Chain A
Amino acid sequence: MQKRVRLAAALVALVAATAACSSRSDDSGSGSGSSDKPIVVGSTLSLTGIFAATGKIHQIAGQEYVDRLNKNGGLLGRQVQWKVLDDQSDQAKVGQLYEQLISQDKVDLVIGPYATPNILSAMAVAQRHNYVLPQHTAVLAPQLTYSCQFPAWSYGPRPNEFIPTQLFDAVASLPDAPKRIAVVTSQSGSAAFVTDGFGSDKTGMLTIAPQKGLQVVANVHYPPTTSDWAPIAAQVRAAKPDLVVNNGLGVDAVNLLQAMKQLNYRPPMMFALFPAPGPLLGLGDLSAGTLTTSLFQPDQAGKLGGDVQAIVDDFKTRATAAKLPYPVFETQAAASWNAWDILADGVKAAGSLDQQKICDSLHADGAQTTFSGKVTFDPADHNFWAGTETLAQIQGGKWVTVWPQDKAAAQLRGPAAA
């Protein structure tokens, strides 16, 4: 029975630990100093599970924002405390945790989680309780029906039109503009809409390309869990496109480029929709010239002025300490920052924590965001303000803003010389 004794002792230790860690959940906090009770902002983030990589970025950016906010006096004269729980990338937990945060913990404010399905689940809860929900990364406007949901990252009310149009306009400006495109799409809700449209609105890359004089020579949809990229690469190679568009996420573009290279094929130009920024850079020459849609790159810091450079540097310090392999402040972190800006602006404009007042103020006056300037919210467009995204391109091993020309830090480069 010896082993059972040992195991039982382990269980006892566990029980003691759980009871003991109860004290933690009450006072994990930044912000002391003020004698008033802090304003509590509740949210979940995917800190473990499949979304953890990006969830971590939002956690670091959010904590940086709150620290900065508190150093500058907080909100309404009170310190701000951010209570963030791990939803384990599980949609069902998001709903449950937001429900608990709002109805049991009675947090003063909420902010969104990461990843579109989680955001939509959180939105449903926020809507029931009439809580204002600024959210970082859900851009598919038609899905976000709650009038007090405020996007921090917007491609306007029709993202399925904005993104292809911006891309095609950009490449059309090149001297040897591409004529044939291959569209390789991930069957993920966060990416497929750019190709296929949404619901009954079929506008998307496939319909806009012909309008811009481009021929779609390959149209491949793949499941997000694809492990064998060679057949897709073979199809693309056989189609001989001038521009390969990968409406995918994560490392899909990396896998695709690699698989194509293994077949001795290199596309003249490549676009990746929502890639994980770091891994693409590691491909060296293979990924040189790859385009993506971007909310912010550090090269914009000068143009935006103000504290932006300091924010970017502080983030780099914190992210490096957290062992992130790519500790650069870019689109995801900028979206997070915008969301907090919207929340803070709304509270300041309303002068109180009353959710209805905050929502009305935001509708009336919009918000001032650090990375997208002044944005206004029109309920008819589901609060999705006109997009301010740029196109970024890999040049010299870094992501550089190249389009539109008034924001470009470098020239858009055309197809790589053979």
Chain B
Amino acid sequence: MTIAQAALTGALIGGLYALMATGLSVTWGVLRVINLAHFAMILLGAYLTYQLATSTGLDPILTVLITGPVLFMVGAAVQWAYDRLHVAEFTSLLVSFGLLIIAIQAVTLIWSADFLRMPGDINPYATESWTVGRFVFPVTTVLAFGLALVLVAALHLVLRRTFAGRGMRAIAQDRAVAAAFGVDHQRLSLVLGGVAGASAAAAGMVFALTNALSPTAAYEWFGIVFAVVILGGIGQVVGTFAAGVAVGVVSAVVSAAWSPATAPIVLFSAIVLALVLRPQGLFTLRSVVGAGR
């Protein structure tokens, strides 16, 4: 029973992992930039949610209506900078790492290094849950799961069905040829960077609902998010979602059945095993967007 409940909440929090990871995965797969500044945007999204909710009394979930567009612009701006400076692949890793360091310090300067948590009267969601039968569904993780589903479904449809989406997949495979077919790489990459930023805003908002914020939280997401991105297949939105849920479930079940202390061992060993058996990514159904190393 405990294990079943844990598996359920694990799957739901996997939605949060997927929400964090999707933006990174898509910009990595399509635009070939490994954007560590994505973590900075999630962090900013979380802090902005905190700030807006505590100073204006706005419902924290609704803050995403403001932080979403703001971080869309930030994401697009960052992507524009990468394009202008011809930053790609592993160079982008370093440049974005520099941006991340700066962002974390900026957050520290504005909000202090201490833990910030929205008080209960402003944020009632942190402790709420719905009970269905013998199972409990915490509200915040259901929200994360739902948002992740929406994001994945929307991206999947756009990437597969619309011209813009096909254009993005074409860019990933061969930029020059895509341009010859009229695909405007500049505009599409800005849009994609913006979408990643907006998804970061949503992820940050959910994170702020459940957690006390501290500037160095960004570093704690690296391991899980990278695991989800690569397990799911870089650039594969549906795969990323499935990988997030899988990671959440495996961690939770091991924590409940054995010990939370062993969860990282089992999880990362399982990841290693999965990659050895299926190097192209666990959930990659088709050939991966973009070429190899």
Contact = CB atoms under 8 A, between A and B. Distances in A.
B112 A322 contact: yes
B261 A235 contact: no
B234 interface: no
Contact of B256 (A234, A283, A284): A234
Contacts of B51: none
A259 B253 CA distance: 16
A262 B261 contact: no
Interface stretch (A47-55, A129-137, A303-311, A362-370): A47-55
A238 B4 CA distance: 12
In this complex, which of B1, B13, B114, B261 has the most chain A Cβ atoms within 10 angstroms of its Cβ? B114
A56 B129 contact: no
B252 interface: yes
A50 B118 CA distance: 20
B99 interface: no
In this complex, which of A52, A231, A238, A276 has the most chain B Cβ atoms within 10 angstroms of its Cβ? A231
B165 interface: no
A279 interface: yes
Interface in B2-34: 2, 5-6, 9-10, 13
Contacts of B212: 251, 254-255, 276, 279
Given A225-B220, A325-B114, A263 B120 contact: no
Contact of B117 (A227, A231, A238, A282): A282
A284 B260 contact: no
B269 interface: no
Given A228-B252, A234-B2, A255-B211, A264 B131 contact: yes
B128 interface: yes
Contact of A50 (B9, B119, B216): B216
Nearest to B216: A50
A226 interface: yes
B291 interface: no
Interface string A27-55: 00000000000000000000011101101
A205 to B, nearest CB: 16
Nearest to A222: B260
Interface residues of A, number: 47
A324 interface: yes
B264 A228 contact: no
B214 interface: yes
In this complex, which of B108, B116, B260 has the most chain A Cβ atoms within 10 angstroms of its Cβ? B260
B5 A263 contact: yes
Nearest to B123: A282
Contacts of A71: none
B252 A223 contact: no
B138 A226 contact: no
A250 B115 contact: yes
A258 interface: yes
Contacts of B2: 231, 234-235, 237-238
Interface string B216-232: 10011001100000000
B248 interface: yes
Interface string B239-268: 000000000100111011001110110000
Contacts of A230: 5-6, 9-10, 13, 138, 141, 252
B129 to A, nearest CB: 4
B260 A226 contact: yes
Nearest to B105: A48
A187 B251 CA distance: 17
Interface in A198-238: 220-223, 225-228, 230-232, 234-235, 237-238
Interface in B92-149: 105, 108, 111-121, 126-129, 131, 136, 138-141
A221 B13 contact: no
A2 B256 CA distance: 58
Nearest to A286: B127
Contacts of A49: 216
B286 to A, nearest CB: 31
A261 interface: yes
A231 B252 contact: yes
Contact of B261 (A52, A187, A263): A187
B114 A324 contact: yes
A3 interface: yes
23 contacts: A48-B105, A52-B215, A52-B216, A56-B113, A220-B260, A221-B260, A225-B223, A227-B220, A230-B6, A231-B251, A232-B255, A234-B9, A234-B256, A251-B115, A261-B129, A262-B127, A263-B136, A276-B114, A279-B115, A282-B120, A284-B121, A324-B114, A325-B112
Interface of B: 1-2, 5-6, 9-10, 13, 84-85, 105, 108, 111-121, 126-129, 131, 136, 138-141, 210-212, 214-216, 219-220, 223-224, 248, 251-253, 255-256, 259-261, 263-264
Given A226-B260, A323-B112, 9 more contacts: A221-B261, A231-B6, A232-B260, A251-B115, A261-B129, A262-B139, A276-B115, A282-B117, A324-B114
The 6 closest A-B CB pairs, nearest first, are A52-B113, A230-B9, A231-B255, A222-B260, A262-B138, A261-B127
Interface of A: 3, 48-50, 52-53, 55-56, 187, 220-223, 225-228, 230-232, 234-235, 237-238, 250-251, 254-255, 258-259, 261-264, 276, 278-279, 282-286, 322-326
